[in-house]
Amino acid sequence: MSKPSRWLMIVVVAAVAASGGAVWGARRGRAATLPAVAPPRPEPVMPSAPAPMARPPVRADGLARAGTPRRSAVVTVALLAVVVLAGVLVTVLDRPAKVDPVPQAAAVVPNASAWTTPDLTMPATMPPTPPDFAGPTTAPTTMPPAPVPVGGVLPPDGSVVMRGDNGEEMILAVVRIDNPAPSVDMDNPSAPEIPLRLGYRLVAVHVRIDNTGGVPFLTDIEKHAWLVDKKGRTYPRNVEMTDARQLHPASPLTPEASNGRVIVFEIKGSVDITRFCLSLHPGVAKQTQEWRLT
């Protein structure tokens, strides 16, 4: 029940109780103020005595005034009863309703014996291989051939053991051949760009040097290098372009140390070159080596 409805019911009950108490008190007071009067008994007539005078009637207003305090007390008692009843109703109606707790479902604990462990073992048989499966496409790696003494013509990736005039001993190996070579050094972007003449192309040969002796020497092996075409014509290196492609200038190479050099050639676009040659001492066969380019 809402609070306005509760208070309206309380007011109605209080009004009904008050009116009922007032009516009951009024009737009770009226009955008390008008008591029953017994008829007067006749007096014996005495011949010798005069008749006694009759008692004067009691005034009604005097009796009403005498009953007024009792009527007021009754009304007061009725009002107190109404107030007590109203307080009891307010206490009962304002008491919060009792809510039954919602029963909680009991936790279900799974039975450990009912658990099943997934089978993680590999199947006994592997799926069949498609008939057109060719296997891995990675080409097998091949090691470069072992260094050989000076003489003959080596393959493009061959290496040679070469000795100098003052006890130098080194291994020279062709690492890469760029034919044609770009005008910009891909290994050294900060190097200057090499301008190309119309109708010409660049050829760059990358050579690794290993000092296998006990004497240091300069790494300027590019001083005596040239290309050979099908007709046997030779093309020497371009000094300015070769110097521009070096990562660093020639320096002493200590024993067991390595270094790399780049040798640049400028040839006509239609020339078909077949050989690369390098010599520590031109004209001396045991200090000159040839590599095949094709």
- 120 lies in a domain? no
Per the structure block, which two tokens stand in for 260?
């790399």
Q: Are 170 and 286 within one domain?
A: yes
Residues 39-49 have a mean pLDDT of 53
Distance between CA 141 and CA 144 in Å, rounded? Answer: 10
191 to 73, 171, 186: CA distances (angstroms): 126, 27, 9
Q: At what angle do helices 3-33 and 60-94 cross, to 10 degrees?
A: 160
Sequence-ordered list of residues with C-beta below 8 angstroms from that of 199, at least 6 positions apart, any chain: 268, 269
276 in the same domain as 157: yes
Question: Which residues lie below 8 Å from residue 254, measured CB to CB, with a gap of 6+?
Answer: 211, 216
Place of tokens 């009770």: 28
Q: How many domains does the chain have?
A: 2
Whether residue 121 is contained in a domain is answered as no
Is 255 part of a structural domain of the chain?
Answer: yes
User: What percent of the chain shows pLDDT beyond 70?
Assistant: 52
| Residues 213 and 169 sit within 8 Å (Cβ to Cβ) | yes
What is the pTM assigned to this prediction?
0.52
- E strand or H helix at 200: strand 200-211
Q: State whether 154 and 89 are in the same domain.
A: no
Q: What CATH code is carried by the domain that includes residue 223?
A: 2.60.40.1240
Tell me, yes or no, whether 287 and 173 share the same domain. Answer: yes
Question: Whose structure tokens read 């019911």?
Answer: 9
Query: Which pLDDT tens digit goes with each residue over 93-123?
Result: 556 555 555 555 555 555 655 555 555 555 5
Which candidate, 169, 174, 117, places its Cα nearest to that of 290?
174
Residues with Cβ within 8 Å of residue 290, at least 6 apart in sequence = 152, 153, 154, 228, 275, 276, 277
Q: What is the pLDDT of residues 141-187, one digit of tens each?
A: 567 789 999 999 999 999 999 999 999 999 999 999 999 999 998 88
165 and 277 co-located in one domain: yes
Domain span at residue 73? 1-32+64-93
